Amino acid sequence: MGAVFSKIKDNLKEGIRENSENSLARKIAHGKNAKFIWIAVMAVLLTVPAYAGDYAINVMILMLFYMALGQMWNLLGGYAGLVSLGQQSFIGIGGYALAIVSEKYGLPAPLAFAVAAGVSVLFALVISIPIFKMQGVYFTIGTWIVSECLALWFSTWAWVHYAQGYNITVTYNLSAKQIYYVAFAVGIGSLAVVYFILRSKLGLALMAMRDNSAAAEVRGVELYRTKLKCFVISACVTGVAGAAIYLQQAFIQPSNAFGISWTVSMVFIVVIGGLGTVEGPIIGAVIYVLIRQFLYNFPGFSMVILGIIAIAIILLAPRGIMGLVQKWVSIDIFSVRRR
Amino acid sequence: MDEILRVENLSIAFGHNRVLNDLSFEVFENEVLGIIGPNGAGKTVLLNVLTGILKPDSGRIVYKGKDIAKTKIALRTRMGIGRTFQVPRSFEGMSVYENIMVGGVYGRLLSEKEAGAGADEILEHIGMAGRRGEIAGALGLLDRKRLEIGVALASKPDLLLIDEAAGGLTESEIANILEIVRGAKQKGVTVIWIEHVLQTMLEGTDRTLCIAEGRNVICGPPRMVMDSPEVHAVYLGTEEDE
Ligand SMILES: Nc1ncnc2c1ncn2[C@@H]1O[C@H](COP(=O)(O)OP(=O)(O)OP(=O)(O)O)[C@@H](O)[C@H]1O
Ligand SMILES: [Mg+2]
């Protein structure tokens, strides 16, 4: 694990160097152009339900959800140097927030999003106390163990219906279109969160940490605090995404909600798309969802294919697909550069 | 002259390798103190101890009258201790300008606006005006070394620690670095400058300290130190450095 990530880091650096040495880079998406692309993409996304069929809408929903999850994992793994395998803790917390608010208490579902955000933040703060004492691989394993404990606890907890879980009946009254707009809000919201973080003072520290965390500390960046901020923000948005995801799935159980496969997907998405870039998780999510849909009937097989792609990219393509693309054309749609 | 830094009986060992042995010396305000010594003498380890990356086994580091041995790395920077690394550690994915911003925003807690406003002056100082947009990862060695100093200067240090800025550079490039260090001194910065290039130490430092096996061998005017039998004994048998 550690070796793989240091390899990714090396690739990242190499890619950055190659990228900036590439004088042939044509600038297709800077400044004004970027604005047009932005507006066009938003217009397309907002009107998808008007012309797309249910299948396409559902694929888009998945892409938006996974993009949001990828963005949040990237904030940790790509910038803060926190390789988590336990983001499913927050998906589960978000999903259960929805189940409990709407099923158990019959309260309006939108309230669930606030509860999901709040409980995720609280849980992240509490769990950070022991988990931030662990470094590197131990942190990674620690986050995973926390999720496994949650799964176990929820399976034996009467208040949440043990391992049987909940049917989330509010979903029955929602159309695919309505859920699409929820997914749209979550997806674009996560993108906005990352974008504004990177443009802020915090972002300056994060980019420095991405490039060299030891040097960042010597330059005055307080690593612990910065990492904690990322951990909490990431937990919050992942929790909200979890509530939205289970609003679509209409059924929640501990084994699924707190399953590691959520985070494995996030890692695939970010590594394939490009670690430590804003665009990476978008590209990664699109590819991930497409491959999963094409190989829908062979779920095990699609994981193998994704695994092979991810490993190939780690070994061959610096900075994931985003890095590969940037070798040829200089795309900077989400410019977080300071000038 | 007032002293800005006093190092008292600093010792650190890695297993059986005793790298710093009761090292003591002081640095006066606004001087340039050169540090020379053979490879493995403990010069870089000393800087790592001064900046908090390594914890000493014993001894005191008194900076501006306070013992900072327990102060965290980032806070030492904010107290005015800036440094460069022997192997440059710039933020390779970020532009020259952004690298300097990190120094100001986090090393001195400036707002982005304030740090941005000071950036031009620093770029001027390090001879990289007009190159703010270049990506640090694509810079050549001289530029990386200059940028290191620039990022350190961005945090407005009172004490600047330089670890071999001239190593691997040509003579004219070294002159460039010398110019930058002189500029820093003129602005009131105190400098500790580690370097193997003795000529540069002669020209650029007010006093020179020679370290060997983590001990203070001799400290005084550069010429006197370099002509001293102690220093010759230290370098005898080791490679001839320039
Ligand atoms: N983190 C560490 N762990 C163990 N040993 C170390 C560590 N850092 C340095 N050393 C050892 O300490 C000794 C002094 O190293 P140091 O880097 O300070 O030398 P130096 O004086 O800077 O030499 P040079 O001129 O080659 O840069 C060496 O023997 C080195 O192997
Ligand atoms: Mg050294």
Are both B176 and B198 inside the same structural domain?
Answer: yes
Are both B150 and B162 inside the same structural domain?
Answer: no
Backbone angles phi, psi at A227, to 5 degrees: -65, -40
Are both B111 and B138 inside the same structural domain?
Answer: yes
Which residues does residue B210 pair with via DSSP β-bridges, in sequence order? Answer: B36, B218
Compute chain B's Rg from CA coordinates.
Answer: 17
Q: Which of B155, B182, B207 is the last residue of a domain?
A: B155
- pTM (two decimals): 0.90
Pick from A71-75, A314-318, B42-46, B94-98: least confident: A314-318
Are both B145 and B166 inside the same structural domain?
Answer: no
pLDDT band at A99 (very low <50, low <70, confident <90, very high): very high
Q: What is the CATH number of the domain that holds B186?
A: 3.40.50.300
Alpha carbon B235 to chain centroid, angstroms:
22
Count how many domains chain B has.
Answer: 2
Domain that holds residue B53: 1-80+157-242
What percent of chain A clears pLDDT 70, i.e. is strictly above it?
89
Q: Which long-range contacts (CB under 8 A, 24 or more apart) does A188-191 make?
A: A188/A42, A188/A45, A188/A64, A189/A68, A189/A237, A189/A240, A190/A67, A190/A68, A190/A71, A190/A72, A190/A237, A190/A241, A191/A67, A191/A68, A191/A71, A191/A278, A191/A282, A191/A334
Helix runs in chain A, H state only? 2-21, 31-51, 54-74, 88-98, 110-131, 137-155, 176-199, 201-218, 223-249, 254-257, 261-273, 280-294, 299-316, 320-328
pLDDT band at A310 (very low <50, low <70, confident <90, very high): confident
Give B-chain residues touching A12 at CB under 8 angstroms: 93
Q: Taking residues A276-294, what's their average pLDDT? A: 93
pLDDT band at A330 (very low <50, low <70, confident <90, very high): low
Give the separation between CA A290 and CA A55, rounded to whole angstroms.
12
**Interchain pair B102, A16: CB under 8 A:** no
Q: Tell me, what's the pLDDT at A23?
A: 35
Q: How far is the CA of B163 from the centre of ligand 2 (A)?
A: 7
Q: Across all residues in chain A, what is the average pLDDT? A: 89
Tokens of A57: 């809408």
A152-209: pLDDT as tens digits: 999 999 999 999 999 999 999 999 999 999 999 999 999 999 999 999 999 999 999 9
Pick from A33-47, A254-268, B44-58, B221-235: least confident: A33-47
In 3D, which of A301, A298, A321 has the Cα closest to residue A310?
A: A321
If you measure CA to CA, which chain A residue comes closest to B157? A219
Tokens of B172: 């004219």
Q: Tell me, what's the pLDDT at A10?
A: 61
Alpha carbon B112 to chain centroid, angstroms:
26
Are both B72 and B164 inside the same structural domain?
Answer: yes
- Nearest listed ligand to the Cα of residue B38: 1
Are both B52 and B108 inside the same structural domain?
Answer: no
Quickly tell me which residue has 């069929």 as its tokens.
Answer: A53
Are both B140 and B164 inside the same structural domain?
Answer: no
DSSP B41: S
Q: Which of B155, B184, B209 is the last residue of a domain?
A: B155
Q: How far apart are the first and last CA of chain B?
A: 33
Are both B233 and B117 inside the same structural domain?
Answer: no
Q: How many helices (H) and strands (E) does chain B have?
A: 9, 10
Give the separation between CA A302 and CA A306, rounded to whole angstroms.
6
Q: Tell me, what's the pLDDT at A336?
A: 76
Q: Tell me, what's the pLDDT at A140?
A: 96
In 3D, which of A120, A119, A111, A106 has the Cα closest to residue A72?
A: A120
pLDDT band at B238 (very low <50, low <70, confident <90, very high): low
Among B35, B43, B53, which is best to mutate for testing ligand 1, by the most ligand atoms less than 8 A from CB? B43
Q: Which of B138, B155, B172 is the last residue of a domain?
A: B155
Close Cβ partners of A99 (under 8 Å, ≥ 6 residues apart): A160, A165, A166, A168, A246, A252
CB B240 within 8 A of CB B75: no
Are both B43 and B98 inside the same structural domain?
Answer: no
Among B10, B12, B14, which is best to mutate for testing ligand 1, by the most ligand atoms less than 8 A from CB? B14
User: What is the number of alpha carbons within 13 Å of residue B44 lying toward its C-beta?
Assistant: 12
Q: Taking residues B142-155, what's their average pLDDT? A: 96
Are both B139 and B27 inside the same structural domain?
Answer: no
Q: How far apart are the CA of B123 and the nearest CA of chain A, in angstroms?
A: 14
Are both B26 and B65 inside the same structural domain?
Answer: yes
In 3D, which of B229, B204, B206 has the Cα closest to residue B217?
A: B229
CB A267 within 8 A of CB A273: no
In 3D, which of B217, B221, B197, B100 has the Cα closest to residue B154?
A: B100
pLDDT band at A9 (very low <50, low <70, confident <90, very high): low
pLDDT band at A32 (very low <50, low <70, confident <90, very high): low
Are both B228 and B207 inside the same structural domain?
Answer: yes
CB A224 within 8 A of CB A125: no
**A25: alpha, beta or left, given left = phi > 0 and alpha = psi -120 to 50?**
beta
**Residue B225 above 90 pLDDT?**
yes
Q: Across all residues in chain B, what is the average pLDDT? A: 94
**Residue B208 above 90 pLDDT?**
yes
Give the separation between CA A82 and CA A227, rounded to whole angstroms.
8
Q: Taking residues A333-337, what's their average pLDDT? A: 73
Give the separation between CA A204 and CA B112, rounded to whole angstroms.
9
Give residue limits of the domains in chain A.
57-328
Q: Tell me, what's the pLDDT at A296?
A: 81
B182-204: pLDDT as tens digits: 999 999 999 999 999 999 999 99
Give the separation between CA A120 and CA A95, rounded to whole angstroms.
11
